[in-house]
Every structure is written in C-alpha cells, then in structure tokens.
C-alpha cells in the first residue's frame, strides 16, 4: 500500500486470482462511494484529475491488463471487465456506488449496471464508445486522429504511459471487442439513473450519438465546454462538478443501498 497525492492510496487487492491495482481515497463511512472506470489504452492516471475533484470516497481501478493490474493473455471485452470489477466491489463492500465511465469504460459501466444493479446507484457516461456510425476499428481510429486536434498535448505522458503498459496487442484486441459491442442494444436495459457527458469537441462521441445515448437511457446530456474526448483528464473539475450536481439532484432513495429500497 502506497500513499499518493491528494489523499489517495495505491493498493493491490487479489480478485479472482488476479492482482488488481486500485487508487482510492476513503470517504465517510456513511457516504456513497464513487467508482471510476478508465478508457481504452490508458489507466487510472487518466481519471485522476476528475477523481481528485470529486468529494468523498473515490476508487479508481486499473482494468485487468491495463496500468498496474495484471491481466489475462487475451483481451477482455466489456462484460468480462465488468465481472472482475463486480467481484472487486463485492470484496470491498462497495454496494450502491456511483459509477463514472469514460470512453470504453462506459461499456464496462453499462454492463456492470445491467448485470449488478445492486452495486450501482447512479451511472455517468462520458464520451461513450462506440457510435454505430463508426463501429469499426478503422472508423474509431480515424475519429481518434481527428480528436487529437482538439486535445491538450500536456496529457500526452498519461496516454503514452497507459499505452505502453497495456501494449499494442491488448489495445488492438480490446478495440476489436469494443467496436463489436452493441451498446445501443444494452442501454435500454439500464435501470439506474444515468447522466451522459461529452466534451464540446469530442469527435469520437459526437453530439448526435451522445444525444441518442441519452434518449435510450432517459438521461440528460451535459456538454463540457472546450473539452474533447479526454475531458476526464483535461477538464476534471468540470466533469466532477457535472457529476456531483447530477447525483445531488437525485431523489434520496437513489443513493441508498439497493437492498434496502422499498
């Protein structure tokens, strides 16, 4: 266990025989925790500007095979990552958490909310993948190239370190699984409150697609001004403020343990 900046601690729990890395900050015992899920080819570091701006308990795991978490030889899809995250949350007692996913992490969050709604009290989807209008590896790669024009280059070390840790084979395999995942068919199955966020200049999750995600989940969509796809890194305080406002507006029953709801 290693203490890092902002009161966060780095831990390495064993989950299903696999070592995960989780960067977390404990909140009040009675508080509702946040769980943040990172995107493709990055790690927990990508989410830390948002994590540090959120109040209370915040937990940011590296998905299996990414960052400092050990992974399987083959690339996992959204459902398999969700199963690992659910097992970790069960072990940690993180029921009824507020879950925020970015990019590919949105797919993992969607699967977690559908498969284990007892673990999720609210879901925030930022820049969700993958728009059916570009649901191919080439289509997503082209949108990523276009997105770079709007990104802050100061985040480059975070993106490069995450990519090096995962490696090109895992990144390509995960992208292949991601573009085959029909998120638009899964979204209507979500039963918890949802907020959809997108950066104003996000070309990977353009406005028409983000609006459809919001309609399919009966959610509100909020645009983060001046940001692109990696808003969780480049506009962390704004993302955290939007997510916090969303959960504060929910009925009190949305933040209690789902097992105790009437």
Q: pLDDT tens, 191-228?
A: 999 999 999 999 999 999 999 999 999 999 999 999 99
Tell which residue, 78, 111, 84, has the closest CA to residue 22: 84
Which pLDDT does position 3 carry in this prediction?
A: 60
Which pLDDT does position 262 carry in this prediction?
A: 37
User: Along the chain (262 residues), what's the average pLDDT of each consecutive run of 10 residues?
Assistant: 73 90 88 93 92 94 93 90 96 94 95 97 95 86 83 81 86 89 95 96 93 94 94 95 93 49 39
Tell which residue, 68, 64, 36, 40, has the closest CA to residue 49: 36
pTM, to two decimals: 0.89
Question: 2-235+244-250 belongs to which homologous superfamily?
Answer: Alpha/Beta hydrolase fold, catalytic domain (3.40.50.1820)
Which pLDDT does position 239 carry in this prediction?
A: 97
Which pLDDT does position 255 carry in this prediction?
A: 46
Class of residue 137 by CB neighbours under 10 A (exposed 0-12, middle 13-18, buried 19+)? middle
Q: pLDDT tens, 146-163?
A: 888 887 878 788 888 888
Distance between CA atoms of 63 and 37, rounded to whole angstroms? Answer: 8
Q: Where in the chain are the domains?
A: 2-235+244-250
């Amino acid at each position: 266990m290693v203490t890092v900046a902002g009161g966060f601690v780095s831990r390495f729990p064993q989950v299903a025989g696999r070592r995960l890395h989780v960067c977390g900050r404990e909140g009040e015992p009675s508080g509702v925790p946040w769980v943040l899920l990172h995107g493709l080819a990055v790690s927990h570091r990508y989410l830390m500007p948002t994590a540090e701006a959120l109040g209370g308990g915040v937990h940011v795991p590296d998905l299996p095979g990414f960052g400092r978490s050990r992974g399987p030889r083959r690339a996992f899809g959204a459902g398999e990552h969700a199963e690992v995250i659910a097992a970790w949350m069960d072990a940690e007692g993180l029921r009824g958490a507020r879950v925020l996913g970015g990019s590919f992490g949105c797919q993992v969050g969607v699967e977690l909310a559908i498969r284990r709604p007892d673990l999720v009290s609210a879901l925030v989807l930022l820049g969700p993948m993958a728009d059916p209008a570009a649901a191919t590896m080439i289509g997503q790669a082209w949108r990523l190239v276009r997105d770079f024009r709007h990104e802050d280059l100061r985040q480059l070390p975070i993106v490069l370190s995450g990519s090096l840790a995962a490696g090109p084979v895992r990144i390509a395999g995960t992208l292949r699984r991601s573009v085959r995942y029909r998120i638009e068919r899964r979204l209507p199955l979500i039963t918890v409150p949802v907020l959809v966020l997108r950066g104003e200049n996000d070309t990977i999750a353009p406005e028409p697609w983000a609006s459809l995600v919001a309609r399919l989940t009966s959610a509100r969509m909020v645009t983060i001004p001046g940001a692109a796809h990696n808003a969780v890194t480049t506009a962390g305080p704004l993302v955290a403020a939007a997510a916090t406002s969303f959960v504060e507006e929910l009925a009190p029953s949305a933040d209690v343990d789902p097992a105790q709801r009437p």
